Chains A and B, each alone.
Chain A
């Protein structure tokens, strides 16, 4: 009886196993396979369309694009298996710096499409290299911009003017508060949102290569970040009572519902805000952190760029794919879908919530996010959250300096070896 039952179970298991079709025999073998893994799952639909259109129009190349969630984990596990995609779509942050350092990316300086890329973003990419390396390793695709999102209708109704200096910003906050409206919403429960105002203010208050100067031993964060830290604390009285209770999502919902006039966050937040209230009229302006109008610059960095892997067997085919991605119509489609800023020169139509930043973008007046240089394991976002809770500038900056030395030990050694050799 029991033996029989067991046999049945075994049979059932075998049957189930047999119904699984063989995997991995997708496209026909005479085509060149190009595989892209890109790290922005929110743009998955766009990339699906691109993939389909590319394959419909190209006979010799078959393109696969995957947009997985947690792409960095997936990429790292694939690298360790030596199972490299041909192209990866990543952001211009410290991971890119590490990948360049690990020499797993191919030099694409012979790619013709680079000529059309905004030089500002190529410079940003070059600055991300831990130590200067010959060649170009990323084709910047789109950028994002962070500043302050504001409720355009609310501002028009009260005749509030867009501030251009720190003092004007504080005055604006005072007058908003006087009307009984909350000036800012914060979602500091999600630690990463603590970085948004920080980055936006840092570009005006500290040199763009602060971290590199520290790595070379020329300065300390105690010196460079003091004004920034003090001014950041100055924003808190204009936010909700207990900003650490609310997450990014709560803040988006609250801003969408008109509970605050402004939200200091990047342009990437607009889809989430609009999903709650599609009629909200959002615009943005550059965070005015300095007292000096000449210091003004937009906080913008490479949100998505494409790197060809060193292991890619067919670079020509990879370039053909890049050409297709960089075509005007495709880029415009991406920009429309994600409210992004193009890294390519050309007459693109940008989303209306970027109106207030347009002059900076057109002038090429932008500076990269400071946090793109922070190693993620140092958790500067969590340090910032602690700082905002405790409001102790000195202890925060000292911790920042000691932690920096600890977490960047290998990088600092690399930099110093390089300095000695050159």
Chain B
């Protein structure tokens, strides 16, 4: 991303676009990623209330998916899930599958 000059950015250091940090993908921080076991999930949403990175996507009051673009792999969701429906797997497995870095 080419950086803008002083004439092209808002004055005062203001950031006018709400929540644009979403564009910054912290998913590549991960060494492990959470994996969901649909059969064990009771949709209690504890993972959602404890996620530091807003990376549990809930739709219609049910667990939908992880936001792997932003999930840092902290593992809190896995530790807190009461039915062990989330376990952590090494990221390298998926990196290779997804065309790897």
A and B part of one assembly: no
A contact set with B: CB distance below 8 Å: none
B contact set with A: CB distance below 8 Å: none
